[in-house]
Amino acid sequence: MNSLGIYEKALPKKTDWIEKLDLADQLGFNFVEMSIDESDQRQSRLDWNLQERLKVREAIENSPVDIPTLMLSGNRRFPLGSADQKTRQHGVWMIKRAVDLAVDLGIRLIQLAGYDVYYEQKTLTSRELFLRNLKEVVDYAASKKIILAIETMDDPFIDSIQKIRHIKTMIRSPYLEAYPDLGNINAWPENNLPEDLENGIDIVSAVHLKDTLNATNDFPGKFKNVSFGQGDVDFYGALLTLKRLGYSGSYTIEMWSEDSDNPLDEVKKAKDFFNDLFEKVGIKQEELKHA
């Protein structure tokens, strides 16, 4: 059994958490993945007061749909390896505040964006600063029993599970894991997706389902807004591999339809795409609680 979730940014933007969870339930998902991205609006969630946190917690408790994971992509704006000390410090603060929020909401896993820096030039120093600050936030998360899972990115700094495994040789903690994005791994020509999954399955805590277009010598790749089945990811083969490896964690469909004209239609289409694949591969979605 594998739980199947939907990324918050796939659902209509102007909905509260009661509505988001209800829509996810109607669409046949087990959970919603919360987003704290680069925007001030979503980053303000880190400053929710107790009443605001309890309101979301109450919505979860009254819904058959959970919020077990949080995607913290906001560190792209405030990276741990930034040359600017205040930016680095704010990035560390963000992750610690996200851990505290996760504790209050019952979230168990935070996905970290695997960038040393994004808008700055990469250097040996940016790498070292990233690792030092990552160690600090992993220790904090461990003290709160929250897993931090680094996503394989649209960036060569961390684009494979094996690069995350190497980081784990330096930061030895069961609270630091990998969150592979099948599309991102597949898009880089130096990667072999099934081998990366085979060699790293023991540190995989969750999986993102996203289609991409492969990077080549004269094309940088396309890592967002590629319709499922229109990209280069062989989802059938990748899911067969994960099935053989005995992966029983969660899958999250990652898509950005919240501002589109018909977001629910787009989500239904994506859900049907993976329903068909799951049936062919022999993956059974976790039973819906309302059923």
Q: Which residue has the tokens 């799951």?
A: 278
Rounded Cα gap, residues 272 and 278, in angstroms: 10
Give SS3 for 205.
Answer: coil
**pLDDT tens per residue, range 272-291:** 999 999 999 999 999 998 64
pLDDT digits (tens, 9 = 90+) for 189-207: 999 999 999 999 999 999 9
* 166-to-134, 200, 259 alpha-carbon distances in Å: 13, 11, 38
Q: What is the assigned CATH class of domain 4-281?
A: alpha beta
pLDDT score for 291 = 46
Task: Please report, for the chain, the start and end positions of each structural domain, with discontinuous segments joined by +.
Answer: 4-281
290 in Cβ contact with 27 (< 8 Å): no
How confident is the model over 238-282, as pLDDT tens digits? 999 999 999 999 999 999 999 899 999 999 999 999 999 999 999
Q: What percent of the chain has pLDDT over 70?
A: 99
